[in-house]
């Protein structure tokens, strides 16, 4: 359920950032304090190129390397058609070029993402694009992951995707992440067409939730933001779903998610390319564990949902 995918994955990553943010120390007051004697905070652990660490993988990303078109005709058709969607030349341009270049699939898509797609067994592999960012009080991650579904792309689009346009789905997604939705503040409104010929449906979602974290003292953190999800039918080649932040109110600073829903070698796939950030609350060293644990659980959950 792609849009569910986008919403759940984006919320999952935000939840991950909140998890370590809520365990941070209180900010220093204006009055001087004695040195605590504690060692300086460490940045996220770097993963050697070509290796994985607990599900986070640092594989070389060859953005300019293009696969041979004649060997992957269905992927080539998707890339060619998707290139006409306005979103991939705007906010999602950086996302799109990870999987498509000059009308053809990249080596990264063909030889890294698809062969390592999560099928429901073992642990998902989240492929980092660059390093985990921890600059200027913000944590950010840019990564991609593929899911091999037990259904084809059309079945997913027709039967699962439409369920996202409901408040109940938004509440369920929040609860699945261990947070409490603020019912009166959650709203899902059908979006108007953005004028793109491939656009088929979309929603504007106001989401509001809180989560208690077992820090000392216990902390309740609010997550409030508005985002829009748009679905596109890419001629006969498959589908593209875009999720983009509209308004940041608390905690979330930005996120953009591109999801390519397509068929390849008689199997349905979702190819997620995710870029998201939130306040780090001086706990940047916990980013890696948070991203891996929360996002991996979401990948597992969403793979299971595609079978229902």
Domain of residue 7, residue span: 2-24+49-305
Q: To which H or E segment does residue 289 belong?
A: helix 287-305
As a whole number of angstroms, the distance between CA 209 and CA 131 comes to: 29
- Whether residue 38 lies inside any domain: the answer is no
Any domain includes 32: no
DSSP 258: E
Phi, psi angle pair for 66, to nearest 5°: -110, 135
CA distance linking residue 203 with residue 7, whole number of Å: 11
> Is the residue at 162 inside a domain?
yes
pTM: 0.78
Q: What angle do CA 11, 14, 15 make, to 5 degrees?
A: 85
The reported pLDDT for the residue numbered 240 is: 96
> How much is the pLDDT for 199?
97
**Number of structural domains found in the chain:** 1
pLDDT, tens digit, 9 for 90 and up, residues 148-189: 999 999 999 999 888 777 787 777 666 666 667 777 778 889
Could you tell me if residue 207 is inside a domain? yes
Q: Are 162 and 3 in contact (CB under 8 A)?
A: no
Q: Under 8 Å CB-to-CB from 248, ≥6 apart: which residues?
A: 225, 254
pLDDT at 182: 78
User: Does some domain include residue 29?
Assistant: no
Segment 68-84, tens digit of pLDDT: 665 678 999 999 999 99
């Amino acid at each position: 359920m792609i849009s569910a995918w986008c919403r759940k994955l984006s919320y999952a990553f935000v939840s991950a950032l909140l998890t370590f943010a809520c365990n941070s120390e209180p900010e220093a007051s204006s009055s001087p304090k004695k040195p605590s004697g504690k060692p300086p905070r460490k940045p996220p652990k770097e993963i050697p190129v070509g290796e994985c660490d607990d599900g986070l993988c640092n594989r070389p990303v060859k953005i300019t390397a293009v696969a041979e078109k004649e060997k992957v005709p269905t992927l080539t058709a998707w890339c060619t058609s998707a290139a006409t969607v306005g979103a991939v030349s705007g906010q999602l341009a950086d996302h799109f070029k990870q999987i498509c270049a000059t009308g053809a699939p990249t080596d990264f898509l063909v030889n890294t993402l698809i062969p390592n797609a999560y099928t429901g067994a073992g642990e998902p592999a989240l492929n980092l694009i660059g390093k985990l960012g921890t600059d200027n009080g913000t944590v950010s991650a840019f990564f991609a992951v593929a899911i091999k579904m037990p259904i084809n792309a059309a079945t997913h689009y027709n039967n699962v995707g439409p369920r996202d346009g409901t408040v109940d789905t938004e509440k369920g997604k929040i609860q699945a992440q261990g947070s409490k939705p603020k019912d009166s503040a959650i709203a899902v409104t059908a979006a108007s067409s953005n004028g793109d010929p491939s656009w088929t449906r979309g929603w504007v979602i106001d989401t509001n939730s809180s989560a208690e974290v077992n820090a000392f003292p216990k902390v309740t953190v609010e997550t409030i933001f508005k985002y829009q999800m748009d679905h596109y039918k890419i001629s006969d080649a498959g589908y593209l779903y875009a999720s983009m932040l509209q308004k940041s109110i608390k905690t979330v600073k930005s996120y953009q998610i591109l999801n390519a829903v397509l068929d390849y070698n008689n199997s349905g796939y979702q190819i997620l390319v995710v870029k998201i950030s939130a306040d780090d609350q001086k706990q940047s060293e916990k980013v890696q564990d948070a991203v891996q644990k929360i996002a991996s659980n979401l990948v597992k959950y969403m793979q299971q949902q595609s079978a229902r």
